[in-house]
Amino acid sequence: MLAAIAVVTGLAWWDEQREADAALRDLENEQSVLATSLAGTLRANLGILERDARLAGEHGAGILGARYAPALVRSAGAPRASASDPARMLISVPIDGGRLVDLGVLPRDLLDRDQRLGRPGELQVLVAAPHETALRLVDGTVVGTAAVRDALDRGLPALRLAPSDAVDVGLPARTSMVGMAAVDAGELGRWGVASVASAARERDREKRAIWRLILGVFVTSGLVIAFGGTALRRQRKELELQRELAVAEAQRQRDEELGRAERVATMGTFAMGIAHEASTPLAVIVGRAEQLLARLKDDERAERSVQTILTQADRIQNIIRRFLDMARGGPPALERVDPATVVRAATSAVEHRFAKAHVTLAADVPATMPAIQCDRDLLEQAVVNLLLNACEACQAGGRVEVTARADAEQVAFVVTDNGAGISAENASRAKEPFFTTKPHGAGTGLGLAIATEIVKSHRGELSIAPHTDHGTRALIEIPIATGGANARAV
């Protein structure tokens, strides 16, 4: 803001100085034109003077009357006449027969007989005679301005006169402009005319302009500073408000994070309690199933059903144990697993749910893929959770596809559906515990949260995003196996 004021002030000052210099140049040109005009008048009057001198030589000086004082016709060797009036210049004009005519003349009779040029304190007209070193004003006053005399002798057309030299010609002590012209009068020698005008008006006008400029700058600066200060205060208030809003938003986010952490801790405690409580009924189920198995030696179909019950109960017990280990902070039991095995097991576990919902389930897994190190049961459960979510999002006739792809660093399990879809906002919160878009009582909001924790325990990442125009895309990325003492091939 201050820099802008300085720039504007500098430009205004430069423009004002340019205008002042232009005004002085105009005044200088005016004086040069006036001096040239006066030089023509001087040349004409000197011609009249020569004519009068010849008349005096022919008819005597009395014929000239009182115009010239003195007026004397003399021989070349006779003493020169003397002027009784110091304001008059004594000019000796040669005529025929070697005679001279001495004529006393006032400078105004040669330049300004009607005295129209005189402007006291503003303009002075000077004449330089060849037989006099000093210069004369039109009233005959002798002035000693060496600067003007030197400029005339050098034939300069114009001159800027210093204040001290302006005083010598009867002008105020201000800068003055001089216009000059030379007159070649033949036998009467080389004369000069100078028009000297004071630049006081221009200088006063310049000073007033400078004061107007200063006043304008002060007023403008005051307005700019006032408005700028108001704008800065308003901006500062806006910044303070933004900072307060940012602090409030950060506090809100921390509160949300604390709430999520509390819910996760609650979920862990709750899961541990459920796992502990579920152990007893599972033990009863396993015991009763084993008793039934011993009695069904002759019924092969019933025997297979009981065996399935025992297998799934054992699976539930394994998952419960591993969830408890995760809740206690322990690492998953890693083994080297083929990704296709995980996909086949997960799809097999949910086939009946898809058949009941009339939703098509398709799997696309390459025949050969790099192995991954994972807790097979937990990772299968994570994929199962994604498949069940996709199935529930589809209506009858929908389609869900699970694929597996690999690159040099990781294996990706991708589950896509053409169901109701998910918004970007809901996708960003889908992994939060207890968050669900399902109707009340239709879901707990824990499936994706559990899958997320499982994937994190495998150093992987789970992401949820909208898929094309409709549907949802869930992606699990797990690092490929690099070998190790604790890994075993399956």
- Give the domain CATH number at 355: 3.30.565.10
Token pair listed for 399:
């389609």
Residue 486, pLDDT > 50, answer no
Q: Calculate the CA dihedral of residues 382, 384, 390, 392 and round it to 10 degrees.
A: -120
Q: Is 205 a domain residue? A: no
Token pair listed for 472:
């949802």
Range of the domain at 116: 2-198
CA distance 20 to 39: 29
Q: Is 51 a domain residue? A: yes
- Nearest CA-CA partner of 471 in 386, 399, 404, 384: 399
Mean pLDDT of 177-198: 90
List pLDDT tens digits, range 222-261. 777 778 788 888 888 898 889 889 888 888 877 776 665 5
Q: Is 267 a domain residue? A: no
Q: Quote the DSSP letter at residue 224.
A: H
Please report which confidence band the pLDDT of residue 484 belongs to, taking 50, 70 and 90 as the band edges.
very low
Residue 83, pLDDT > 70, answer yes
Please report which confidence band the pLDDT of residue 342 belongs to, taking 50, 70 and 90 as the band edges.
very high
Residue 485, pLDDT > 50, answer no
Q: Calculate the CA dihedral of residues 11, 14, 16, 18 and round it to 10 degrees.
A: -140
Task: Point out the least confidently predicted range of 123-127, 183-187, 251-255, 422-426.
Answer: 251-255
Q: What is the pLDDT of residue 287?
A: 76
Q: Is 403 a domain residue? A: yes
Q: What is the pLDDT of residue 488?
A: 37
Q: Is 6 a domain residue? A: yes
Quickly list DSSP for 16-51.
HHHHHHHHHHHHHHHHHHHHHHHHHHHHHHHHHHHH
- Nearest CA-CA partner of 269 in 324, 342, 209, 332: 324
Tell me the three state secondary structure of residue 190. strand
List pLDDT tens digits, range 288-334. 777 777 777 677 777 778 778 888 777 777 777 666 666 655 567 78
Token pair listed for 252:
């809100």
Domain edge (last residue) among 162, 183, 198: 198
Residue 481, pLDDT > 90, answer no
Pairing of strands 176-184, 99-105: unpaired
C-alpha distance from residue 58 to each of 49, 64, 100 (Å): 14, 11, 12
C-beta separation of 189 from 174 below 8 A: no
Please report which confidence band the pLDDT of residue 361 belongs to, taking 50, 70 and 90 as the band edges.
very high
Please indicate whether residue 13 or residue 226 has the higher confidence score (pLDDT): 226
Domain edge (last residue) among 165, 198, 231: 198
C-beta separation of 225 from 83 below 8 A: no
Tell me the three state secondary structure of residue 358. coil
C-beta separation of 464 from 431 below 8 A: yes
Q: Is 317 a domain residue? A: no
Q: Is 311 a domain residue? A: no
- Number of domains into which the chain is organized: 2
Contact residues for 490 (Cβ-Cβ < 8 A; gap 6+): 335, 336, 337, 338, 341, 376
Q: What is the pLDDT of residue 304?
A: 78
Most confident of the following: 9-18, 93-102, 280-289:
93-102
Pairing of strands 142-143, 158-161: unpaired
CA distance 365 to 408: 17
Tell me the three state secondary structure of residue 434. coil
Q: What is the pLDDT of residue 122?
A: 83
Residue 105: how many CA atoms within 13 Å on its side-chain side?
Answer: 24
184 alpha carbon, distance to own chain's centre = 68
Please report which confidence band the pLDDT of residue 265 belongs to, taking 50, 70 and 90 as the band edges.
low
Q: Is 23 a domain residue? A: yes
C-alpha distance from residue 461 to each of 344, 345, 354, 404, 475 (Å): 21, 21, 26, 15, 8
Domain edge (last residue) among 198, 216, 235: 198
C-beta separation of 93 from 49 below 8 A: yes
Instruction: Please confirm whether the linkage preceding 366 is cis (ω < 30° from 0).
Output: no
CA distance 453 to 462: 9
193 with 337, same domain: the answer is no
Residue 39, pLDDT > 70, answer yes
Q: Quote the DSSP letter at residue 119.
A: B
Mean pLDDT of 457-483: 87
- Nearest CA-CA partner of 165 in 153, 154, 174: 174
